[in-house]
Amino acid sequence: MKKTVSLVLAVSMLASLIFTGGVLSFLKRDVNGDEETNNKDVVYLFRYVSGSEKDGYESAYDINGDGFVDNKDVAELFRFLSSGEQGVSEEPDETVPDETDEPEKHVHSFGEWNIIKEASCTEDGEKQRTCAVCGETETDTIPAEGHDYGEDNICKRCGKEKLIETPDEYFTFTLLEDDTYEIKAKDISNTPENVVIPEEHDGRAVTSIGFNAFAGCLGLESVTMPDCVASICSGAFFSCRNLKSVTICNGVTSIGDRAFFKCVSLESVTIPDSVTSIGEDAFSGCSGLKSVVIPDGVTSMGKCAFSECCGLKDVTIGNNVTEIDECAFNYCTGITGVTIPAGVTSIGLDAFGGCSGLESVTIPDSVTSIGALAFCGCGNLTNIIYTGTKACWKSISKGEKWNSSAGDYTVYCTDGDLTKEES
């Protein structure tokens, strides 16, 4: 009878606690271990609190997490059951979150564009702006503006004179995979003396001068290329014996094998910084060529690239060439001095063979090998300026007869000199 009265009093206490506005801090607890949360758990917990049940797992019954097991825990559990969610298992809630509940993504607030690089007539520019919220930057391209020629054929933006292009009727055009055109002479016997390669054909850029494009064109005297040309293919001007002047545009990246082979009247050529490779025999036999500057952009120079340019007197080799290939300058009898740039590791077979006018050569300590006949026949060679020590010079691998018939030179090293016999 006493237990019944106590149970009634407990229920009354629970009802009072339910309406006090307390917040349920732990909503799911199976107290009696039957894998459900229901009235049986309330009774079990009440009996535990009243001292009629003791099983040693007191912490498991601390429903509200305050560190004590008392009537407050009974009230919390009763409140949970009064919410109508009876029979809930104490298994973890594995509900998959709704994707729509994801935090809203950050929206950038970009400021005004700042010009990093102005666009020119032929080159794209660059602009940048910054998000005021997170500091992220955004970069975009400013398209090249293109030339704006006036009635006087002078560009209003850059001052470049518009060249009068040779009419399309003198050429054949082949459409390439990149949707640009390759050009060739239609009839080498009917080609104008002075050719200006057109910038485009049928609305598409001309980017390549094709294989043997003007080969054997004896009437050709000058060629001018637009900036859109990227490659001069093998044999393009092969044996154009009366070609005197070539303007290679600043878009060309490669000059093919034998591109200007035996152009004996060619006196000067400017190789632009955009060129990265010069093919085998590219200028071989250009006996009228007086000087050449190989720009720093060039990393590859083929065999016999300037072989037998007997009129060549001044040569500048770019800083990114790593190898002087075989026969590169052989029989260039007019050269008196040459500086091989730091970074070159090898001087190839017969590279300067037969350069009878060569008096002085500077060789960097980066060179590890000198090929056979490399300076053979350089009868006037008197000075080899070496940027390393005597020991380093002697450690260089030297091919057979590398200095055969060379002059009575001295090798000037950083720590002393070596005679021809000692070198």
Q: Give the pLDDT confidence score for residue 102 in this predicted structure.
A: 60
Q: Give the pLDDT confidence score for residue 19 in this predicted structure.
A: 38
Q: How far from each other are the two terminal CA atoms of the chain, in whole angstroms?
A: 123
Q: Give the pLDDT confidence score for residue 69 in this predicted structure.
A: 73
**How far are the Cα atoms of 161, 164, 199, 214, 384 from residue 226, in angstroms, in the given order?**
12, 11, 6, 17, 42
CA gap 418, 412 in Å, rounded: 7
Tens of pLDDT along the chain (423 residues) come to 444 444 444 444 444 443 343 333 334 466 666 667 777 776 776 777 776 555 555 666 677 667 677 777 777 767 777 665 544 444 444 555 555 556 566 788 888 999 999 998 878 999 999 988 888 999 999 998 888 888 888 888 888 877 789 999 999 999 999 999 999 999 999 999 999 999 999 999 999 999 999 999 999 999 999 889 999 999 999 999 999 989 898 899 999 999 999 999 999 888 999 999 999 999 999 999 999 999 999 999 999 999 999 999 999 999 999 999 999 999 999 999 999 999 999 999 999 999 999 999 999 999 999 999 999 999 999 999 999 999 999 999 999 999 999 999 999 999 999 999 999
The answer to whether the beta carbons of residues 35 and 90 sit under 8 Å apart is yes
Every domain of the chain with CATH number 3.80.10.10 lies at 170-288, 322-423
Q: Give the pLDDT confidence score for residue 96 in this predicted structure.
A: 52
Q: Give the pLDDT confidence score for residue 22 in this predicted structure.
A: 37
Strand segments (E) across 162-302:
171-175, 181-185, 194-196, 200-201, 204-209, 222-224, 231-232, 245-247, 254-255, 268-270, 277-278, 291-293, 300-301
CATH of span 322-423:
3.80.10.10
Q: Which two tokens stand for residue 66?
A: 């305050």
Helix axes 39-50, 2-18, angle to 10 degrees: 110
- Positive or negative: CA dihedral 155, 160, 164, 170: negative
H or E stretch covering 43:
helix 39-50
The answer to whether the beta carbons of residues 263 and 255 sit under 8 Å apart is no
Q: Give the pLDDT confidence score for residue 154 in this predicted structure.
A: 87
Q: Cα angle vertex 47, ends 41, 49, to 5°?
A: 100
Q: Which two tokens stand for residue 230?
A: 């990227």
H or E stretch covering 75:
helix 71-82
Residue type, 47: R
Q: Which residue has the tokens 């400017």?
A: 270
**3-state per-residue secondary structure call for 301-315:** ECCCCCCCCCCCCEE
CA gap 333, 354 in Å, rounded: 7
Q: Which of 95, 83, 80 is nearest to 30 (CA)?
A: 80
Q: Is 279 helix (H, G, I), strand (E, B) or coil?
A: coil
CATH class of 170-288: alpha beta
Q: How many C-beta atoms surround the C-beta of residue 364 within 10 A?
A: 16
**3-state per-residue secondary structure call for 53-95:** CCCCCHHHHCCCCCCCCCHHHHHHHHHHHHCCCCCCCCCCCCC
Q: Give the pLDDT confidence score for residue 35 in this predicted structure.
A: 67
Q: Which of 272, 265, 264 is nearest to 247 (CA)?
A: 272
H or E stretch covering 49:
helix 39-50
Q: Which two tokens stand for residue 8?
A: 């009634």
Q: Which two tokens stand for residue 339?
A: 């500086």
CA gap 222, 245 in Å, rounded: 5
Q: Which of 232, 221, 223, 233 is nearest to 198 (CA)?
A: 223
Parallel, antiparallel or unpaired: strands 291-293 and 204-209: unpaired
Q: Bin 216: left if φ > 0, else alpha if -120 < ψ < 50, else beta.
A: left
CA gap 90, 327 in Å, rounded: 87
DSSP string over 110-154: B---EEEE---SSS-EEEEEEBTTT--EEEEEE------B-TTSB
**pTM to 2 decimals?**
0.66
Q: What is the DSSP letter of 161?
A: B
CA gap 163, 166 in Å, rounded: 9
Q: Give the pLDDT confidence score for residue 54 in this predicted structure.
A: 55
CA gap 60, 51 in Å, rounded: 16
Q: Give the pLDDT confidence score for residue 388 in this predicted structure.
A: 97
